[in-house]
């Protein structure tokens, strides 16, 4: 790979992140070496230390950057749906989660499979962020149950199940497939709502399309 111009600045750090995502996704965190990373970026190994102190710092940065971006984009969705009912907010959350994660398969894979590789402090930080994200969905589900729109015996279990199903799209979705990511999001939206909304309210309370 051609040498990255300069060894300082945000462009080089972004190149390190991109290369780190690629190598960890392909080889795993433990197997990837800083020598491989430097070669992929096109710099000397010593130059990496201008940007990251250790391989652990890189892993944390990759996962934290992904979580920060996730929250930033979710905030935009929440701003657009502020004041709307729980059904519309749940639809928006589902569409956001599915389409966002489809476009970031490497980040999602690393965030899930390499979470165990973080040191204790970094692990607790990321797990805390994940819990915050889960609580955003739980709040929607709780509002829907309180208003009599959703039938949910356990909010936490429902949220974990929904998130697991939605995130699983990353394992099988292909851009060249017969359905677009929006089509897939709609299928998931319909399934989730049909599992939460009483049959008697589906036609008039919840427009699925």
Closest CA to 22 of 42, 43, 36, 6: 36
* In the chain, domain spans: 1-52, 56-198
In contact, 49 and 111? CB cutoff 8 Å = no
3-class secondary structure, 169: helix
Q: 75 to each of 26, 82, 171, how far by Cα in Å?
A: 31, 10, 26
- pLDDT (0 to 100) of residue 9: 67
Q: pLDDT averaged over the chain?
A: 90
Percent of residues, the chain, with pLDDT higher than 90: 78
Terminal-to-terminal C-alpha distance of the chain: 47
Alpha-helical segments (H) within the chain:
10-27, 34-41, 45-48, 55-81, 86-102, 105-113, 120-146, 155-167, 181-196, 199-202
pLDDT (tens digit, 9 = 90+) per residue, 148-178? 999 999 999 999 999 999 999 988 998 898 9
In contact, 82 and 143? CB cutoff 8 Å = no
pLDDT (tens digit, 9 = 90+) per residue, 105-138? 999 999 999 999 999 999 999 999 999 999 999 9
- pLDDT (0 to 100) of residue 5: 42
CATH T-level topology, domain 56-198:
Tetracycline Repressor; domain 2 (1.10.357)
Q: What is the CATH number of domain 1-52?
A: 1.10.10.60
């Amino acid at each position: 790979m051609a040498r990255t111009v300069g060894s300082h600045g945000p462009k080089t750090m972004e190149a390190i992140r991109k290369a780190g995502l690629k190598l960890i996704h392909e080889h795993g965190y433990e197997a990837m070496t800083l020598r491989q990373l430097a070669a992929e970026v096109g710099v000397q190994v010593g130059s990496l230390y201008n940007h990251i102190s250790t391989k652990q710092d890189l892993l944390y940065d990759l996962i934290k950057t992904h979580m920060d971006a996730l929250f930033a984009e979710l905030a935009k969705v929440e701003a657009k749906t502020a004041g709307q009912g729980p059904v519309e907010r749940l639809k928006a959350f589902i569409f956001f989660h599915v389409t966002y994660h489809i476009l970031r398969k490497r980040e999602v894979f690393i965030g899930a499979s390499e979470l165990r590789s973080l040191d204790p402090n970094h692990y607790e930080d990321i797990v805390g962020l994940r819990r915050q994200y889960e609580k955003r969905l739980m709040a929607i589900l709780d509002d829907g149950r309180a208003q009599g729109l959703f039938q949910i015996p356990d909010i936490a279990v429902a949220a974990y199940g929904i998130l697991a199903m939605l995130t699983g799209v990353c394992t099988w979705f292909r851009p060249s497939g017969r359905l677009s990511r929006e089509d897939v999001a709609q299928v998931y939206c319909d399934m989730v709502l049909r599992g939460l909304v009483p049959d008697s309210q589906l036609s008039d309370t919840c427009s699925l399309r």
